[in-house]
Amino acid sequence: MTVKPFYGLLLGLILIVCVLVAGCSSQSSTTNIAKITTQPAAKYTAGDIITNNASSSYWMIISYDPTSDLYQRVLVQQNSDGTWSQVTGLAENDTRMDVEKLYPDLYTQASVASVTYATPTVPPVVTTTLSGSGPTISAVSPTTGAVGTSVSLTVTGSNFENGATLKLIQAGIQPIIASGVSVTSTQITGTVNLANLNNGPVNIQVINPDGGMASLNSAMTITPPTPTISSISPTSGSPGGSYTLTLNGQSFTNAFAVNLIYSDGVTLIPCTSPSASATTISCTLALSDSANTGTYSVEVLTSDGTTGTMSSAFTINNSTS
């Protein structure tokens, strides 16, 4: 009896079943990939010192907690030796979104261990709540001050606390902290030294001891220093004479012209080819034979647009005297 055809048919069926099983197995092994949504990475890390050019306050990031999505930060200021120190001694905890929106600029990076700060005492995370209403600034006097001078500053507002700090803030420059500060609930006075500031606007900032802070942008304008004349030599001359006139004083660096102005306020005699340093100017004073006799004021003009004057400083004598 012949059985070979039967075995051939059986083998064919087995092959077909194997192909079907393999296809199903391949299909079932295909995995659907779920879309995974991740939280944006924190922009800052511990030790980053961040700022906002509008207020120019500086905050150091102490830590970031991805679980709560909160930064811990502390208000800092730069010391004269380049190191950083805390201002209020209070650490604050704020959301990542608020911190990165309000303080978008990374100023520098420093060691957290090098800055003294106070951490919240209630674990795990406590958002700082200020006592009462925060301070507000409504007016500042004076609104201008010259580079190199000291100014008695008065800030009017509300909710000022005893022990508050008064500062001048200008981008890229160490904040100027007022000395001799006196505080009432509505007014703060203090003396600020404008020596290290640049020409242009500065912001005023008040920080209460509890960390409450108020800023008034462009509250004051810093102007170029006005030249001052303390003495001149010589103090007199005669018509037809030529003299090297020397002026002593301050803020002469940008001086470009020196003039003698007659008592009528109109007649002017230039002192030519001025050579200036910060405290001295030398120029050539050539008096014509017809120069008016009498007293003259001496003025110095600078490229900053400032003028310094010494009244009745030079006398042109009668040629016969």
Provide the total of helices (H) and of strands (E) in the chain, helices listed first.
2, 22
Give mean pLDDT, residues 17-41: 54
Reported as a single tens digit per residue, the pLDDT across 91-104 is 788 888 888 888 88
- In whole angstroms, what is the distance from residue 150 CA to residue 133 CA? 32
Tens-digit pLDDT profile for residues 221-236: 999 888 999 999 999 9
Cis status, amide bond into 239, omega within 30 of 0 = no
What does the angle CA 60 – CA 62 – CA 68 come to, to the nearest 5 degrees? Answer: 120
The pLDDT score that the predictor gives to residue 248 is 97
CB-CB contact of 287 with 239 (8 Å): yes
Q: Inform me whether the pLDDT recorded for 276 exceeds 90.
A: yes
Contact 147, 33 (CB under 8 A): no
Q: What percent of the chain has pLDDT over 90?
A: 49
pLDDT of 237 above 80:
yes
Domains 136-223 and 228-316 share a fold: yes
195: amino acid identity, one letter: A
Q: Are strands 144-146 and 213-223 parallel, antiparallel or unpaired?
A: parallel
Which amino acid type is present at position 234? P
pLDDT at 22: 56
Distance CA 103, CA 128 (A): 18
Asked if residue 12 has pLDDT above 70, the reply is no
Q: How confident is the model at residue 204 (pLDDT cuts 50, 70, 90)?
A: very high
Average pLDDT, the chain: 83
- The strand pair at 294-302 and 255-262 is best described as antiparallel
CATH superfamily of 228-316: Immunoglobulins (2.60.40.10)
- Between CA 271 and CA 269 the distance in angstroms is 7
CATH number of this structure's domain 136-223: 2.60.40.10
Alpha helices in the chain (DSSP H): 4-28, 96-102
CA distance 71 to 93: 6
Q: What is the pLDDT of residue 235?
A: 97
- Whole-number pLDDT of residue 6: 58
Could you tell me the residue ranges of all domains in the chain?
Answer: 48-114, 136-223, 228-316
Q: What is the pTM of this model?
A: 0.48
For the segment 156-194, what is each residue's pLDDT rounded down to a tens digit?
999 999 999 999 999 888 899 999 999 999 999 999 999
Task: Report which of 150, 140, 154, 141 is spatially closest to residue 183, judged by C-alpha positions.
Answer: 154
Beginning with the edge strand found earlier in the chain, give each strand of the sheet holding 176-177 in spatial order. Answer: 144-146, 213-223, 200-207, 165-169, 176-177
